[in-house]
Amino acid sequence: MSQDIISTCHSERSPRHSERSEESQISPFGRNDIMTQKIFAGETMTEKRVLAVHGPNLNMLGKREPEIYGSTTLDEINANLKALGEKLGLCVETFQSNYEGAIVEKIQGAMGNCAGLLINPAAYTHTSIAIRDAVLLLDAPVIEIHLSNIYKREPFRHKSLIADIAVAQISGFGVQGYYLALEGLAVMIR
């Protein structure tokens, strides 16, 4: 039985969006740079749906090899993605599965109703032609994310089947990579 983790978007925006203090202009990891300021400079964005897909074993973040992946849990990453998404005018839906077919079906389901995809295929990065083919179905920018620098790890991790079809790859920034990717995606889909 699948233990897929799904977190959907909320269609209503919170009232706090109308009041943007200087403090709220800082992203969850403390950045207050030009990109973030430009996004928060009072310009309104139509809320667009972004899908964040997490591959196998990422549900074990915080417990699994913290020396490589850190102590932040997937629930914390998802909460931060949603909070940052709200500030960026994006509706972030998150999904995690240890099953290749479930990931493929989730990506297929995003066809035509997703403005962008953030994906950490985890171990499937190096092996899944099926996930690659599903990503190719999307008419939206895709950013591939890895917590660790896959190019400084074992040789079998150096090959990504997603990298050449993604608009960008962020690798080695830990959990910050997710937030960098979402900020970059927000700029791309404006």
Q: What is the mean pLDDT of the chain?
A: 81
| CB distance 19 to 90 below 8 Å | no
- State the pTM of this model: 0.77
pLDDT greater than 50 at residue 9: yes
The active-site residue out of 69, 124, 178, 179 is: 69
Do the bridges between strand 5-7 and strand 90-96 make them parallel or antiparallel, or are there none, so unpaired?
Answer: antiparallel
pLDDT, tens digit, for every residue of 69-125?
Answer: 788 999 999 999 999 999 999 999 999 999 999 999 999 999 999 999 999 999 999
179 is catalytic: no
Residue 149 pLDDT level (bands cut at 50, 70, 90): confident
Query: Looking at domain 5-9+21-36+44-188, does it have CATH number 3.40.50.9100?
Result: yes
The pLDDT of residue 7: 57
Domain ranges of the chain: 5-9+21-36+44-188
Helix, strand, coil share (%) of the chain residues, nearest 5: 40, 15, 40
Q: State CA 76 to chain mean position distance.
A: 13
146 is catalytic: yes
pLDDT, tens digit, for every residue of 39-72?
Answer: 444 444 447 999 999 999 999 999 988 887 788 9
The active-site residue out of 17, 99, 126, 146 is: 146
